Structure 1
Amino acid sequence: MTSSAAKPRVLVIGDVMTDVIVRPEGPIVLGSDRRAKIELHPGGSASNQAAWFAHFGLPVALSARVGQDDVAHQEGQLRAAGVTPLLSGDATRVTGMLINIIAPNGERSFLTDRGANENLSASDLPLSLLAGLDLVHVSGYALFAPGPRAAVMSFMAVARSRGITVTVDPGSVGFLEEVGPDNFLGWTRDAAVLFPNADEAACLSGRSDPTAQIHFLVQRYGLVVVKRGAEGAEAATPAVRLRAAAPAVEAIDTTGAGDAFLAAFLTARLENAAIDVCLKRGVEAGADATTRLGGRPGKG
């Protein structure tokens, strides 16, 4: 994807969130109390992905929107993670917040307030950002509201016209169902690579069989990489389909596992590694990410 001897440059577009991680000691008692451990962590799919790109050694910037009063704090957290922050402050909305309820098996459920992310606009994505880039990666969350979607789609189209690789992670099966899979497929037509998880692949393809899902999606994207959790992952082009098993680990929190997988896969891809190598690095990174709390590296 890049022939340069220098390290590739990546721009991630999407969201900044504050994650409220809740680990109940047992089933939630409706109308009453349940003891739980509660922690605050930096989050947001795009922010996590950017942090993992930096963790794997790539120069990476993040374009996103946060509450005006929170700009300095969020910039500091991103810089500490090795990410160049390109944040705009929003005067009308606060930084997005997500409540992450973790089940005993490590699976998570989300309650989401998108906050300032809903106001991402063209002014946050000047075309000057494209200079010198090898990759534009878009979190699907940036496509679920009309304003951000228009800005991001325009930016994606220009990036592709300049020969810059564009990749997309759908982000949320709940939001995909809300906006409609056919719409999302149209919005992401400029993407060269799509990274759905198993539920998102089923939603976007309208098919339950993994082979049928792959067949449907590879007709629309040059490369499709499906994250299947504990079952590993697979990658396919019109000519090849490869699978990789996930390493066995004791999962604590699956938040950010897909983000780690994606960043590891694309880092290897940008280093011109073969797809099977990209998959191997991806599943290893994703599995490792589940062994710590939070969605970014360095937690645990």
Structure 2
Amino acid sequence: MAQDLCGALVGFCNPLLDISAVVDDNLLEQYKLKANDAILASPEHLPLFPTLIDSYEAKFLPGGAGQNALRGAQLLLPADSAVFVGAVGEDDYAQKLKGAAEKAGLRTNYMVNKDKPTGTCALLITGPNRSMVANLSAAETYQFSHIAEPSNWKLIEQAKVFYITGFFFTVSPETIDAVAKHALENGKTFTMNISAPFVPQFYKEAVEKTIPYIDILFGNETEAAALAAAFDFGTDDIKVIAKRVADLPRAGDKPRTVVLTQGAQSTVVATSDSDEVRVYAVSPVPSNEIGDTNGAGDAFVAAFLAQHILGQPIDVCVEAGHWLGGEVVRQIGPNYPEGELKFVSSGSFAPSVEKL
């Protein structure tokens, strides 16, 4: 099996070094930030980064949603199964990111920009909430020409499943388009994440162009609401949203699956080939065991994709996602528990089912 899955999962996103700190609401108000949100840094946000380093007990953590997810997936898959692609600078931050990936056994194929530093993401933690402000820097310079090089395109040809975050719409829509079409033409699985409310709000045209190629779409409740608003669904019912997105036009014959998480609440799954919507309860993590919620969504995707690649049904994929998400919220930052990660299904995890 290890040989069969060599390079089976390839992901694209913005590799960022997280600068994480526990702050108070005053800092959020100063920079006009929401307690639970993800935005791109504007010029007025740039002083935030040195402020976290100089005035708070900031921690540097390997981040970037896509790389976080692929690290977790690789920890649950046979050796050499996953490869991550993105752009970094030629600096110490890039080495920290590469080192974290290597520790998890994740291969990286970075495009290196010698003129810009590796991107960073400010993580402002207030209680159970986290506000993310990304300064993409080198990450936003990724170009399709990198993966189009014959030596790199071999990764695409070898892969069976692709995972690209919505954040990448801001960087290289051309890459998303090329990989999506390759997946369709070769019977492979193309998956994406909405990633942040601003993605459907400000990149609706690119999202709309790509949706027909998406086989599995991930998102959370706020991202789903933003997508529904952008597409004029006229509802905030997350079950209806999931089914409406699943039923949007498809480029091929493969059914589409939409997976929407709601933190400690239920996870909703809808598919284009069924009028049933599945609702999966989440086992709560005791409040005294929670480190912070950063990285929980990426961990869910990591475990879901790992089980999907291993041929498991949706119920098991969601169960694994809940399990690993629960493990990560017990850590500080987007970190996985030390030691070997091994998921064992209960064999009895099942959703409630509703017909729409």
CA distance in 2, matches of 1:141, 1:163: 25
CA distance in 2, matches of 1:4, 1:142: 29
Partner SS for 1:20? strand
Q: Do structure 1's residue 212 and structure 2's residue 240 form an aligned pair?
A: yes
**Could you tell me whether the CA contact under 8 Å between 1:254 and 1:290 is conserved in 2?**
yes
Aligned to 2:169: 143
Q: Please report the RMSD computed on the Cα atoms of aligned residues, expressed in angstroms.
A: 2.4
Q: Do structure 1's residue 227 and structure 2's residue 261 form an aligned pair?
A: yes
TM-superposed deviation, 1:205: 2.0
**Could you tell me whether the CA contact under 8 Å between 1:43 and 1:296 is conserved in 2?**
no
**Could you tell me whether the CA contact under 8 Å between 2:239 and 2:277 is conserved in 1?**
no
Residue identity in the other structure for 2:192: V
**Could you tell me whether the CA contact under 8 Å between 2:166 and 2:193 is conserved in 1?**
yes
TM-superposed deviation, 1:73: 4.1
CA distance in 2, matches of 1:7, 1:155: 19
Q: How does 1:89-238 map to 2 (within 5 A)?
A: 89-104=112-127, 106-126=128-148, 127-145=153-171, 148-180=172-204, 182-206=205-229, 207-220=235-248, 222-238=256-272
Residue identity in the other structure for 1:217: V
TM-superposed deviation, 1:65: 0.5
Residue identity in the other structure for 1:47: Q
TM-superposed deviation, 1:44: 0.2
TM-score in terms of structure 1 length = 0.89
Of structures 1 and 2, the larger Rg is shown by 2
TM-score in terms of structure 2 length = 0.76
**Could you tell me whether the CA contact under 8 Å between 2:68 and 2:295 is conserved in 1?**
yes
CA distance in 2, matches of 1:80, 1:88: 20
Aligned to 2:352: none
CA distance in 1, matches of 2:208, 2:225: 13
Q: Do structure 1's residue 56 and structure 2's residue 76 form an aligned pair?
A: yes
CA displacement 1:238-273 (0-9 Å, x = unmatched):
313212112211332111111110111121122222
TM-superposed deviation, 1:72: 4.1
TM-superposed deviation, 1:176: 2.9
Residue identity in the other structure for 1:88: M
Runs of 4+ aligned structure 1 residues displaced above 6 Å come to none
CA displacement 1:103-125 (0-9 Å, x = unmatched):
11x21001211111111111221
TM-superposed deviation, 1:27: 3.6
Residue identity in the other structure for 1:46: G
TM-superposed deviation, 1:80: 1.3
TM-superposed deviation, 1:185: 2.6
- Mind listing any 5+ residue stretches in structure 1 that lack a counterpart? none
Residues matched between the structures, number? 292
CA distance in 2, matches of 1:243, 1:38: 38
TM-superposed deviation, 1:144: 2.0
Distance 1:299 1:118, change over 3 A: farther
**Could you tell me whether the CA contact under 8 Å between 2:216 and 2:258 is conserved in 1?**
yes
Partner SS for 1:159? helix
Q: Do structure 1's residue 22 and structure 2's residue 4 form an aligned pair?
A: no
